[in-house]
Amino acid sequence: MSDSIALGQPTVGDEELAAVAEVFRSGWLAGAGPACRKFEERFAKTAGVAHALTTSNCGSALFLGLKVLGVKPGDEVIVGDYTFPATGHSVLQAGATPVFADVRPDIWSADPASIEALITPRTVGILAVDVAGQPGDFDEYRAIADKHGLWLFEDAACAAGATYKTRPAGSLADLAAFSFHGRKGITAGEGGALVSDRGDLIEHARKLHTYGIEPAITREGSGELPIPSFHELGYNFRLSDVQAAIMNVQLDRLPDLLAARRSVAKRYHEAFEGLAGLTVPVELPDREHPWQAYILTVDPAISRDALALRIREQGVQCNFGTYASHVQPLYGKNEHLPVSADIFGRHLAIPMHANLTDPQVERVAETVREAVTALS
């Protein structure tokens, strides 16, 4: 349908175009340049940390973080199960084994009791996911990590602008990784960031993300002819300055984008209150949810897939929530994580972005209500 309502949509305009034009005029379009450094300084403040590194995407940020934490073959990393598999992939890419923890039934982040039960002598760290952007139980995660001598890594892919007990997402662990993919709260289409209070970790990651040497900007203006030496294997995981220019404008927009998403979430809550067959997502009182996604839980008596198809027929985009990682064939897991497996089959994401108008929100709500009623 020509008037289809998108599941996700970026908010971009003339300001982003002007920022890109400025980069064009500067002549520095490549990665890890002045626009990247400007964004890194600003985003570190947003995340409540001292240091930030821009990356090509969140997957590369996760991988770099694991590498600088010293993850190696034979290690085990406990990962919250309900997540896009980029989280588990990064552990495999680092040579280690992801061990998936079941999740809370209300906010879908890793259950601390499940994490504790999975720790073995091979466990080196905990990779906790902010599902749909809402942070998990980081005080409990930190207590477990400290008790067992583990590091703690926050997969904050969806969490720009979120808070946990007034602390910003990104400041809740030893390291955190963010995504700037097109469906995230702020976006350059692709991109990511690795953030931390530990300058040693970020500077090591900075070398690794440029083939194992310092980025070229660090040599600009030198009175000599510095020739870098390669001491370890690195990668090309840099964000371009074109993307960084967009991200600097997106960061300016962040408060308004968050306010718009929170307004949409409030209207959805009101629209679905008391509707049998659906449960609305939970925002815990000690956290601020950035609403990267709005995910409904469908009653077992209703086919989630049939409901999705019926909603799509009316020109409203929708999709499953995210993945129960442990059931993906790649990982070869035999265990059953009941909570994650259950919500994987019952979650339904409906349109959530900052561009939704009041009439569109009402149309989405009415379409969902009618479809649920018809299938009940």
- Residues serving a catalytic function are 184
Range list of β-strands (E), 3-107: 51-55, 76-80, 97-101
Q: In this structure, are strands 192-196 and 51-55 parallel, antiparallel, or unpaired?
A: antiparallel
DSSP assignment string, 343-374: HHHHEEEE---TT--HHHHHHHHHHHHHHHHH
Burial of 58 (0-12, 13-18, 19+ CB in 10 A): buried
Torsion sign over Cα 92, 98, 103, 109: negative
Burial of 226 (0-12, 13-18, 19+ CB in 10 A): exposed
What's the CA gap between 299 and 22, in Å, rounded?
51
Closest CA to 114 of 80, 87, 85: 80
Tokens standing for residue 84: 């896009």
What's the CA gap between 106 and 118, in Å, rounded?
21
**Helices and strands of the chain, counted as H and E runs:** 11, 13
Q: What angle do CA 9, 12, 18 make, to 5 degrees?
A: 160
What's the CA gap between 126 and 220, in Å, rounded?
38
